[in-house]
Amino acid sequence: MDNTVMFQDRNRKMIEDMGLDTLLHSITHQWFIESSKYEYSYHFSWMGRPIIQFPQDIMAMQEIIWQANPDLIIETGIAHGGSLIFYASMLELLGGDGQVVGIDIEVRPHNRAAIESHPMFKRITMIEGSSTDEAIVERVRQLTQGKQNVLVCLDSNHSHAHVLQELQLYAPLVTRGSYLVVFDTVIEDMPAGYFSDRPWDKGNNPKTAVWEFLKTTDRFEIDRDIPNKLLITVAPDGYLKCVKD
């Protein structure tokens, strides 16, 4: 057997075993809660822009982008623009004319200026407005015309109702073999009341929206190998693979 195949097979077995290790998951969960007290995800940047993601999820997205080879990546939620820069840099490495579309209800002027002056901006389009506004969605639909592989990432308002609506609106744009990634599903796994200053909480968050959404479609399946491999992730049950046209 080829050494590479043996290596990959061994990795798959180890990842499967990690997914079944309840003690390891318990330790990881406790670490997640403790590190969140220090706003751990805020401490990283990509090519000079704050990315506000866990390094493990950045690595997972790198693998997904390389595998799916999208020619369009759509992201709801821009913030400082680090994720847009990251996605654009991955498309730059892939070659071709792949583009990134970022949508946010408000793009603050200093963030817009920093993103627009970045070398990767040549692959980025920013749209200011609500991701669930029909006019905004229609504009994004137009940008998908002629695209073969479309990847969607949802990372804006994390309330159940908003994410569910985003799922319903943007899922049809995702192409078979690509992914619909829903970030911050981990909110459901945090202690109740942890986000006392936000409109989301346990029972009202992206993961509950994913669960409800999946009752209505067979186009997507949760890729459990990804969180099993990462252990530390903000998106448990949030990596949805598109398995049907």
Q: Average of pLDDT values for 155-173?
A: 98
pLDDT band (50, 70, 90) for residue 197: confident
- Name the average pLDDT for the chain: 97
Q: Where are the alpha helices (DSSP H) in the chain?
A: 3-19, 22-36, 55-68, 82-94, 109-116, 134-144, 160-170, 206-214, 225-230
| pTM of the model as a whole | 0.96
Q: In what order do the strands lie in the sheet with 124-128?
A: 124-128, 99-104, 72-76, 150-154, 179-182, 239-242, 220-222
Over 70: is that where the pLDDT of 193 sits? yes
pLDDT at res. 2: 83
Q: List the one residue out of 133, 126, 155 whose CA is nearest residue 234.
A: 155
pLDDT (mean) for 220-224: 98
Q: What is the mean pLDDT of residues 154-181?
A: 98
User: 200 and 215 in contact (C-beta within 8 Å)?
Assistant: no
pLDDT digits (tens, 9 = 90+) for 27-52: 999 999 999 999 999 999 999 999 99
Instruction: Specify burial of residue 55 (Cβ count, 10 A radius: 0-12, 13-18, 19+).
Output: middle
The answer to whether the CB of 161 falls within 8 A of the CB of 200 is: no
Q: What is the pLDDT of residue 196?
A: 86
pLDDT value, residue 20: 96
The closest of 176, 147, 188, 162 to 242, measured between CA atoms, is 176
pLDDT at position 1: 65
What is the rounded distance in angstroms from the CA atom of residue 53 to the CA atom of residue 179?
18
Find the Cα–Cα–Cα–Cα dihedral 62, 111, 48, 154, rounded to 10°: -10
Task: Quote the pLDDT of residue 153.
Answer: 98
Q: What is the mean pLDDT of residues 139-144?
A: 98
Per-residue confidence (pLDDT) for residue 169, from 0 to 100 = 98
How much is the pLDDT for 70?
98
Please state the rounded mean pLDDT for residues 17-33: 96
Nearest in space to 84 (alpha carbons), one of 100, 104, 97, 64? 100
CA distances 125 to 80, 97, 100, 139, Å, are 14, 13, 6, 11
CA distance 173 to 152: 8
d(CA 53, CA 40): 9
Q: Stretch 219-231: mean pLDDT, rounded?
A: 97
Is domain 3-242 in CATH 3.40.50.150, yes or no? yes
List the chain domain ranges.
Answer: 3-242
pLDDT exceeds cutoff 80 at 77:
yes
Give the three-state DSSP class for 85: helix
Angle ∠(123,127,133) on CA atoms, nearest 5: 140
